[in-house]
Amino acid sequence: NMAPEYGATCGFFPIDKEVCRYLSFTGRDKDRVSLVEAYAKAQGMWHDENTPDPVFTDTLELDLSTVEPSLAGPKRPQDRIALSSAVSEFEIALKNIFMRSSPTSAPIAALEGVGAKDKLTDGDVVIAAITSCTNTSNPSVLFAAGLLARKAREKGLFRKPWVKTSLAPGSQVVTDYLEKAGLQDDLDALGFNTVGYGCTTCIGNSGPLDDNIVKSIETGDLVTTSVLSGNRNFEGRISQHVKANYLASPPLVVAYALFGTMAKDITKDSIGTGKDGRPVYLKDIWPHPKEVSDFITKFLTKEMFSTRYADVFKGPPEWQAIKAEKSETYGWDANSTYVANPPYFEHMSITPEMVKDISGARPLAILGDSVTTDHISPAGSIKADSPAGKYLIGYGVAEKDFNSYGARRGNHEVMMRGTFANIRIKNEMVPGVEGGVTKHYPSGEQLDIYDAAMKYQKNGIPLVVIGGKEYGTGSSRDWAAKGTNLLGVKAVIVESFERIHRSNLVGMGVLPLQFKPGVTRKTLKLDGTETFTIAGLSNLKPQCDVTVRIGRVDGSNDSFTTLCRIDTAGELDYYKNGGVLHYVLRGLAA
């Protein structure tokens, strides 16, 4: 699941006796474990002392002695920074990413607790969350976090009062072994109470910050930070009030909750003052690997897994209380704001129509480099004054019940209104403005991207999106392509695509075109007033050249050649059918 984050198609880890031991220990039955071993051996995926080394086209070597504690941030999971360099890297980010010549502060009211202060400052950690399905499935880091909390508690330390803390394990087994070891009490004492089991802060479900914190951040336009043990930290994902987000191990998350800032060196500066009046440093509370190992051996048992997973599909009383009608097809509820019948198959014919040229298209957005799928289709909170928020309010949903885009991805009306609605996205058609807005032409009116797209659709005007390098990087989110399609975008023209998003665009019937080397939105001096015509689409071939004609506002015309990034004959069939859904349905009906 994390392979796209580091640019790979997949990560290959051979199966061995240790994997089988783990499967058995975590409650899988004997027949299942034997099947895994037999399958792995039959497929050549088994590894033991007699297995020959695989032959690779290229190899990388890593000296394990050079590995050191690290973070990733402030806005991409691949941007690793050494813990020892965190302060200098934050200072660089403050200057080069957030355009600050020096740190800014703003007054804050009504903070209580140990270490309370009257100002919030750039770099202050306002969210510290032990979260994510991956990190919280690893007993070693969870025991380490609990042991660090115990040592900190023994020394009289507590989280800083401006830090919102939470613990969201990926499994109830985590709660079982932390409680058995007595470590949950220590985590609770520092504010790391269990808030639930599932996706929380990592996907934007961090919940609201204290009103006084929000007021201070907005007053000073502060670059506050979050530290979470999650998978992803793309812009606008974690919280709309937090600009810099860092991925860390669970014990480091606890440490930063105590420390309270990214602007000081956690490896050298005092984390706090102990009850004996002496300064406490990270090394004083960091657990030894043997301590962690001993706790795993003593408190983690096979019975925990077998007991918890014996009726895992039964669910809690709330789940059991849901009434569902038995039927061959799903009964759509027209009033549901969570699940709605999408329009993908409306007016669909049994045979595909001839692919039409794109004529007189308007740009919906002109974007820069490294636009992620989180920029295109955010997963986090829904703002009340956004198109999606207004839609939900119109259905009587209170703002406190909005939930998130991620939770409402079964409703296309919400998701298409959220497309390109990331609070940090920068559309070059509206310079100096952050968020999902654009300019509608020829009126020149500044509108939310969704509202502009609907206005164009009403007038039968197709749309294009223009971008830079690494368009669609990040999570392999299907809604980034679905939402693009539903807004009426017919083509995306960029300098380079992330592989999975390019494929998803084709799968939704959106034409991916790539600028030729030396040609960019900047060399063409695009500002959004242009129209675009793309002809000859009925004669497309995989990776052929496609000419795009530009109509300028002064009446002049221009053109440039792009590379068609429909890469295979199979993808071309999808595109000619209007997308993979139509292709499959027509195949079933044939």
Per-residue pLDDT tens, the chain, 590 aa: give them: 566 666 566 777 889 999 999 999 998 999 999 999 999 999 989 999 999 888 889 998 999 999 999 999 999 888 999 999 999 999 999 999 999 989 999 999 877 776 778 899 999 999 999 997 777 778 999 999 999 999 999 999 999 999 999 999 988 999 999 999 999 999 999 999 999 888 888 888 888 899 999 999 999 999 999 999 988 898 888 998 999 999 999 999 999 999 999 999 999 999 999 999 999 999 999 999 999 999 999 999 999 999 988 888 888 899 899 888 888 888 899 999 999 999 999 989 999 999 999 999 999 999 999 999 999 999 888 999 999 999 999 999 999 999 889 899 999 999 999 999 999 999 999 999 999 999 999 999 999 999 999 999 999 999 999 999 999 988 768 999 999 999 999 999 999 999 889 999 999 999 999 999 999 999 999 999 999 999 999 999 999 999 999 999 999 999 999 999 999 999 999 999 999 999 999 999 87
- Helix, strand, coil share of the chain (percent; to 5): 35, 15, 50
Q: Is 96 helix (H, G, I), strand (E, B) or coil?
A: helix
Spatial contact of 166 and 197, defined as CB atoms under 8 Å apart: no
CA–CA separation, 329 vs 337, rounded Å? 19
| DSSP calls for 162-186 | T-EEEE--SSHHHHHHHHHTTHHHH
H/E stretch holding 1 reads none
The label of the residue with tokens 């740009």 reads: 363
Q: Which tokens is 249 given?
A: 């191990």
- Residue 69, classified by CB atoms within 10 Å of its CB into exposed (0-12), middle (13-18) or buried (19+), is middle
Q: Which tokens is 423 given?
A: 């609070």
Domains belonging to the chain, first-starting first, are: 1-67 (3.40.1060.10), 68-308 (3.30.499.10), 358-377+460-589 (3.20.19.10), 382-418 (no CATH)
Indicate left, alpha or beta for 97 from its phi (over 0: left) and psi (-120 to 50: alpha): alpha
CA–CA separation, 132 vs 106, rounded Å? 32
Residue 264 dihedral angles phi and psi, to the nearest 5° = -125, 165
CA–CA separation, 532 vs 563, rounded Å? 16
Spatial contact of 388 and 421, defined as CB atoms under 8 Å apart: yes
Indicate left, alpha or beta for 472 from its phi (over 0: left) and psi (-120 to 50: alpha): left
